[in-house]
Amino acid sequence: MFLEQFPNETRQNGWIEVVCGSMFSGKTEELIRRLRRAQFANQPLLLFKPVIDDRYHEEDVVSHQGTSLKAIPVRHSDEILTTWAKEKVVAIDEAQFFDEGIVDVANTLAKKGVRVILAGLDMDYKGVPFGPMPQLLCIAEYVTKVHAICVSCGNLAQFSHRTANETEQVLVGATEKYKPLCRACYNKIAH
């Protein structure tokens, strides 16, 4: 289990945390868990999501398990900085859908003493690093990679296999379009 150990939390030092993994690995659940702890500690926070992610709700961030928190949908990463009003914690779900500017946004907030938590897919359905995620992983002080369970064999899964016929990189969906697979099972049906 991941142990959160943040030295000097009481000082005004900011940092970046990234939770990554495949579809159905619990990224959003983990993001919400961390935010609920911050809420319990009365830390002011903001939660953002990309407008494109309207699977379960237009405004709330909702996990596949149904856990939810109120969020601010944004079209562009710059909107995060213009909305921020000195909250101590800023969280961003589905970070892979944001433009490359999300890296500068995360760095800017961390430099201002903010705890920045991002969650997102590290790879797309082809097994290729997704959007700004590689850069976010590089600049983060803390990285948590979570895994789903392979629906074919039961091993740990890190691939999001697309079952729909669409070929564009961004295709928002859930169990009707994706299933988690381990490397061996994914390679058997590789694209």
Mapping DSSP to helix (H, G, I), strand (E, B) and coil, where does residue 35 land?
helix
Compute the distance between CA of residue 2 and CA of residue 21 in angstroms, rounded to an integer: 14
Question: What Rg value do the Cα atoms of the chain yield, rounded?
Answer: 16
**Selection from 157, 107, 98 nearest residue 130 by Cα:** 98
Which residue among the candidates 30, 58, 94, 176 is catalytic per the annotation? Answer: 94
- Tell me the sheet residues that pair with 92: 48, 118
104: which 2 tokens? 């500068």
**Residue 87 annotated to the active site:** no
Compute the distance between CA of residue 95 and CA of residue 186 in angstroms, rounded to an integer: 24
What is the identity of the amino acid at 106? Answer: A
- Tell me the sheet residues that pair with 148: 157
132: which 2 tokens? 């700004």
Residues serving a catalytic function are 94
